[in-house]
């Protein structure tokens, strides 16, 4: 097929057209990076079927996708079909709101919607983790729907966007030459970070290995801290690795692990992954049990307490793992206490009443925010507040 070299310089003003499919935070970060580097970038709001041009001045003006969405009706829009049909490169970064098997169905539906508009000689960069062998299925759908052949009529790349510092990996179905636009594009997206470029299958295995290598130690720490004595708990609280491991740090991995679980053929590896998933799903129950025990020790009745969850979750991130975990945690807490609120961007003073306030700090950032609020609350004489760090030790600060 025709190789698309990068044609952008002061001597050659022709620019590659890039479309980012999906109004997610990850997608907007890609769009901003490329726009500021001089690329012609559009971003598709998959819920409305419309694309908005992301110019450099817009990338500087809108710091987040939330800010962009607020003004979206005022911006110049065009049908997604027109934007995608004229694109040289399309990043697939939709917001996925389902989990487990339902997530695969949602992803497939959005992917089919996108590729209906593809033009010949375009390139797809698939940014959702697929597990092992998942890209083969994606490419089969791509060829079936478009009636075009990968490597002959269209290019396909796999670049899973990680939620943590797992590094970048990109897989390709063909040899990537240095004169291809993909090199420059990926360099801009990753801000010059080192990129491992390889074939698709190798990229799937490498990324999966990084996910498991990163999360298994976290899950191990959580399991080891269950049902330990208070004396042991006090000693271990001095260990930073346990003290600073919040539920937020592990919740995001559920999406990646579900994708892996659906693709692994090895019985041993499938057993490990499924146990990791069960452990993560039990994290919220562990926290609720600890809160129940805490109130019992302090001789506090549940009806006299109010629980506030401090967990700043980005509602526009691609994965829904954190949102799903928050929903499960909230539901389990309400079964016990009844009155459960979210702190979000409000002050503690706005959610405070005469009852004992139990605050669950679910991330490092939220914990630091609560500490600032605590000083203000205590300065006006309100001190019936208990802070619980949602980590394996469920550290209590009151």
Banded pLDDT at 332 (limits 50, 70, 90): very high
Q: Which two tokens stand for residue 124?
A: 């797809």
Average pLDDT over residues 365-381: 75
Confidence of residue 330 (pLDDT cuts 50, 70, 90): very high
Query: Binning pLDDT at 50, 70 and 90, where does residue 11 land?
Result: very low
Domain containing 82 — which CATH number? Answer: 3.40.50.720
Burial class (CB in 10 A: 0-12, 13-18, 19+), 111: buried
Q: Is residue 6 part of a domain?
A: no
Residue 3: per-residue pLDDT = 44
The answer to the question of residue 240 being in a domain is yes
Residues 237 and 302 in one domain: yes
pLDDT confidence of residue 95:
94
How many other C-beta atoms are found inside a 10 Å radius of the C-beta of residue 97? 14
CA angle 267, 271, 275 (to 5 degrees): 170
Q: Note whether residue 221 is domain-resident.
A: no
Average pLDDT of the residues of the chain: 86
Q: What integer is the mean pLDDT of 252-256?
A: 84
Q: For residue 331, give the nearest of 285, 389, 396, 292 by alpha carbon.
A: 285
Q: Which token pair is 327?
A: 């929903």
Mean pLDDT within 326-340: 90
**pLDDT surpasses 60 at 364:** yes
Residue 217 lies in a domain: no
Q: Say whether pLDDT at 12 is over 50.
A: no
At 153, is the pLDDT very low, low, confident or very high (cuts 50, 70, 90)?
Answer: very high
How many other C-beta atoms can be found within 10 angstroms of the C-beta atom of residue 230? 8
327 located within any domain: yes
Contact of 78 with 50, CB cutoff 8 Å? yes
- In percent, how much of the chain has pLDDT > 70? 88
Q: What is the pLDDT of residue 2?
A: 44
Examine the domain organization and report whether 253 and 318 are in the same domain: yes
In 10 A of CB 331, how many CB atoms?
Answer: 12
Per-residue confidence band for 355, with pLDDT thresholds at 50, 70 and 90: confident
Cα distances (Å, whole numbers) of residue 359 to 167, 308, 344, 364, 388: 34, 5, 12, 14, 6
Question: 251 pLDDT band (50/70/90 cuts)?
Answer: confident
CATH code of 239's domain: 3.40.50.1400
Closest CA relative to residue 385, chosen from 356, 351, 348: 356
> Mapping DSSP to helix (H, G, I), strand (E, B) and coil, where does residue 86 land?
coil
Residue appearing with tokens 């899950």? 219
Our count of domains for the chain comes to 2
What are the DSSP calls for 348-369, one per residue? HHHH--SSEEEEEE-SHHHHHH
Beta bridge partners of 342: 309
**pLDDT at residue 96 greater than cutoff 50:** yes
Query: In the listed set 207, 241, 274, which residue is the last one of a domain according to the structure?
Result: 207
Residue 378 — very low, low, confident or very high, per pLDDT cuts 50/70/90?
Answer: low
Token pair, residue 333, equals: 């807490």
- Rounded average pLDDT over 43-72: 89
The CA-based diameter of the chain, rounded to the nearest angstrom, is 76
Check whether 73 has a pLDDT greater than 80: no
**Residues 186 and 258 occupy one common structural domain:** no
Cross-strand bridge partners of residue 69 = none
**Are 199 and 239 part of one and the same domain?**
no
Both 190 and 239 in one domain: the answer is no
Q: pLDDT-based confidence at 176, cuts 50/70/90?
A: low
Based on the fold, state whether residues 355 and 279 are members of the same structural domain.
Answer: yes
pLDDT for residue 32 is more than 90: yes
Give the side-chain half-sphere CA count within 13 A for 386: 20
Judge if 367 and 256 occupy the same domain: yes
Confidence of residue 17 (pLDDT cuts 50, 70, 90): very high
User: Is 42 inside a domain boundary?
Assistant: yes
3 within domain boundaries:
no
Compute the distance between CA of residue 285 and CA of residue 56 in angstroms, rounded to an integer.
Answer: 46
Could you tell me if 317 and 95 are in contact, meaning their C-beta atoms sit under 8 angstroms apart? yes
Pair (170, 299) in one structural domain: no
Residues 149 and 243 in one domain: no
Task: Say if 138 falls within a structural domain.
Answer: yes
- Residue 204, pLDDT > 50, answer yes
| The 17-21 sheet, strands edge to edge | 77-79, 50-53, 40-45, 17-21, 89-92, 123-126, 155-158, 168-172, 195-199
Task: Compute the average pLDDT of residues 235-257.
Answer: 84
The percentage of residues in the chain with a pLDDT greater than 90, rounded to a whole number, is 46
Q: Is the pTM of this model over 0.75?
A: yes
Which segment, 101-105, 153-157, 180-184, 299-303, is predicted with the most confidence on average?
Answer: 153-157
Per residue in 109-142, pLDDT tens?
A: 999 999 999 999 999 999 999 989 999 999 999 9
CA dist., res. 297 & res. 286, Å (int): 17
- Closest Cα partner for 42 from 10, 81, 71? 81
Q: For residue 121, give every residue at least 6 positions away whose Cβ sits within 8 Å of its Cβ, in sequence order, or none.
A: 1, 2, 4, 88, 153, 154
Confidence of residue 8 (pLDDT cuts 50, 70, 90): very low
Is 33 within 8 Å of 191 (Cβ atoms)? yes
CA-CA distance, 226 to 238, in Å (whole number)?
17
CB atoms within 10 A of CB 323: 17
Structure tokens at 133: 């062998």
Which of 158, 177, 207 is the endpoint of a domain? 207
> Both 363 and 299 in a single domain?
yes
In terms of residue numbers, what domain contains 196? Answer: 17-207
Does position 227 have pLDDT exceeding 70, yes or no? yes
The answer on 286 and 176 residing in a single domain is no
Q: Do 52 and 189 lie in a common domain?
A: yes
> 276-298 pLDDT, tens per residue?
999 888 889 999 999 999 999 98
207, 237, 256: which is the final residue of a domain? 207
212: left (phi over 0), alpha (psi -120 to 50) or beta: alpha
């Amino acid at each position: 097929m025709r190789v698309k070299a990068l044609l952008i310089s002061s001597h050659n003003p022709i620019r590659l057209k890039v479309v980012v499919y999906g109004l997610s935070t990850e997608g907007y970060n890609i769009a901003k990076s490329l726009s500021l580097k001089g690329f012609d970038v559009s971003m598709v709001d998959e819920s409305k079927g419309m694309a908005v041009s992301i110019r450099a001045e817009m990338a500087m003006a809108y710091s987040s996708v939330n800010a962009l969405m607020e003004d979206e009706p005022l911006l110049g829009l065009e049908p997604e079909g027109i934007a995608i049909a004229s694109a040289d490169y399309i990043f697939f970064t939709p917001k996925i709101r389902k989990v487990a098997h339902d997530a695969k169905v949602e992803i497939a539906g959005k992917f089919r919607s996108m590729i209906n508009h593809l033009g010949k000689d375009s390139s797809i960069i698939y940014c959702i983790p697929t597990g092992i062998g998942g890209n083969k299925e994606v490419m089969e759908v791509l060829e079936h729907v478009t009636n075009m052949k990968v490597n002959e009529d269209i290019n396909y790349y796999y670049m899973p966007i990680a939620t943590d510092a797992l590094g970048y990996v990109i897989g390709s179905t063909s040899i990537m030459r240095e004169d291809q636009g993909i090199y420059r594009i990926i360099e801009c997206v990753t801000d010059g970070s080192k990129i491992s470029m390889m074939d698709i299958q190798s990229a799937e295995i490498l990324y999966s290995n990084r996910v498991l290598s990163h999360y298994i130690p976290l899950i191990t720490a959580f399991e080891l801290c269950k049902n330990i004595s208070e004396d042991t708990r006090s000693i271990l609280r001095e260990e930073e690795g346990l003290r600073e491991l919040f539920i937020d740090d592990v919740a995001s991995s559920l999406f990646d692990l579900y994708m892996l679980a659906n693709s692994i053929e090895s019985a041993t590896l499938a057993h490990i992954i499924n146990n990791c998933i069960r452990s993560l799903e039990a994290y919220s129950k562990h926290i609720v049990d600890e809160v129940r025990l805490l109130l019992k020790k302090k001789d506090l009745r549940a009806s006299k307490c109010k629980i506030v969850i401090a967990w700043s979750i980005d509602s526009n991130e691609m994965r829904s793992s954190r949102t799903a975990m928050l929903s499960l945690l909230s539901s389990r807490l309400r079964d016990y206490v009844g009155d459960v609120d979210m702190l979000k961007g409000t002050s503690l003073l706005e959610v405070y009443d005469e009852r004992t306030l139990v605050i669950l700090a679910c991330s490092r950032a939220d914990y630091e925010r609560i500490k600032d609020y605590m000083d203000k609350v205590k300065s006006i004489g309100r001190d019936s507040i208990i802070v619980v760090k949602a980590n394996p030790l469920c550290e209590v600060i009151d």
